[in-house]
Amino acid sequence: MEKSRSLQWFHTANKLIPGGVNSPVRAFKAVGGQPLFINKAEGPYLYDEDGNQFIELINSWGPMILGHKNEIIEKAVAEAIPKSLSYGAPTALEVKMAQLIVEMVPSVEMVRMVNSGTEATMSAIRVARGFSGKDKIIKFEGCYHGHGDSFLIAAGSGAITMGQPDSPGVTKGTAQDTLSVPFNNLEKVEDVLLENKNEVAAIILEPVVGNMGCVLPQEGFLSGLRKICDQQGIILIFDEVMTGFRIAPGGAQELFGVYPDLTTMGKIIGGGMPVGAYGGRKDLMESVSPVGPIYQAGTLSGNPIAMAAGIAMLTYLRETPGIYKDLEKNTAKIVAGIKENLRKLNLTYTINYLGSMFSLFFTTNKVIDFESAKTCDIQLFGRYFNSMLEKGIYLAPSQFESLFISTAIEPQHIQHIVESNYQALKEVHN
């Protein structure tokens, strides 16, 4: 595989951008080697600066559920661009987007658009604290909610250091207001609440985790959190930036039938454009300025190009409900193929999947939380990643990231993915 142009760009980028990348995981440090610089994408394929073609299973970390260069999204964007790229004023497109979100997401009565998932989660926490008058929040180890200060405690693949920030620049005071507990552990949640009686404003979590690999909620976990929050007057926040509109039209809350008080969204609602949103109960949302006292603003919030792309995306998903069964069917075929490969090679690694999200964990342990995810053989995953890349399959360059399937994946792509998986697993174990 030719890499000369990517290497040249990476060399130049390192002189101008920290680590040569604008988001850390792109640097390939977790898997070794140097990142490929992407020139274009179409359907299920990425093409790098050297002209190499890859079937990709990242889909821009989730939002390209219809594949790249989708004509529906492109048409909507092309029609919006001539009118202007930004107004900084209300538009009908924002209202149409809000209508779609409220119609599709069961718990959302009102919604506010922002520019990213990080903005959405930061804002939702502020609403919870402002509304409740309490300062502390509970998050779960391995759940990543963006790079807001309150969330960089036991976040994603960061170090687990209870009460200590994972990043310099996060104050100890902020860290002390974030209480971190293991995912799928209701008993620990109850213990922490007992120790911090009447001090917790909110519990926030990814209902299906995507940032320590794909980790599913165990039976009764989500409903148990809902019950605890109802009993103690705590605001329950689902971070559906990844799962929203991906695993069901109404996200994980629709799939599991457990409804939060606030929901954060992103990824798919921009159709690939930068966007985020948070929404929920009317009384909570009406505490936000200019109706209420809790301040949050953004010049580019509700950007017309992002709204046009998102409306096209959500409208298509709402009007094509069979898309989710097709995505799940194709994901199941890939997972079944990988499991058969593991059987043939006498390997017992763990695979988690739901809908169009899945992860192959290089551990023999069942992965239900961050501690079990951390038992993975990271070096082995790095070798596997690079072997798959050489075979034309572009995976997330981290063991601790979910993979995503798009509607552009067809039978021949599934066959190539499964065959490459077998060859790569065989190579890294020889």
What is the reported pLDDT for 163?
43
Q: Which of 181, 251, 176 is nearest to 210 (CA)?
A: 251
- Give catalytic status of residue 278 as yes or no: no
- Give catalytic status of residue 267 as yes or no: yes
Question: In angstroms, what CA-CA distances link 225 with 138, 217, 232, 314?
Answer: 11, 11, 11, 29
Can you spell out the DSSP letters for 192-247? HHHHTTT-EEEEEE-SSB-SSS-BPPPTTHHHHHHHHHHHHT-EEEEE-TTTTTTS
Longest dimension (CA), the chain: 64
- Identify the active-site residue in 239, 316, 324, 391: 239
What is the reported pLDDT for 166?
66
- Identify the active-site residue in 45, 144, 278, 394: 144
Q: What is the mean pLDDT of the chain?
A: 94
**pLDDT one-digit tens code per residue, 56-110:** 999 999 999 999 999 999 999 999 999 999 999 999 999 999 999 999 999 999 9
Strand partners, 200: 136
What is the reported pLDDT for 174?
82
CB 218 within 8 A of CB 205: no
- Identify the active-site residue in 134, 267, 374, 391: 267
**pLDDT one-digit tens code per residue, 283-316:** 999 999 999 999 999 999 999 999 999 999 999 9
CB 210 within 8 A of CB 216: no
Q: At 178, list the tokens.
A: 């974030």
CB 111 within 8 A of CB 270: no
Local confidence band at 369 (pLDDT 50, 70, 90 cut-offs) = very high
Q: At 158, list the tokens.
A: 């960061």
Domains of the chain: 4-69+322-428 (3.90.1150.10), 71-319 (3.40.640.10)
The arithmetic mean of pLDDT across residues 115-125, rounded, is: 96
- Give catalytic status of residue 377 as yes or no: no
Give the three-state DSSP class for 127. helix
**pLDDT one-digit tens code per residue, 167-191:** 788 888 788 899 999 999 999 999 9
What is the reported pLDDT for 254?
98
Question: How far apart are the C-alpha atoms of 380 and 296, rounded to whole Å?
Answer: 44
Determine how many CB atoms are found less than 10 A away from the CB of residue 292. 15
What is the reported pLDDT for 159?
34
Residue type, 175: A
**pLDDT one-digit tens code per residue, 232-267:** 999 999 999 999 999 999 999 999 999 999 999 999
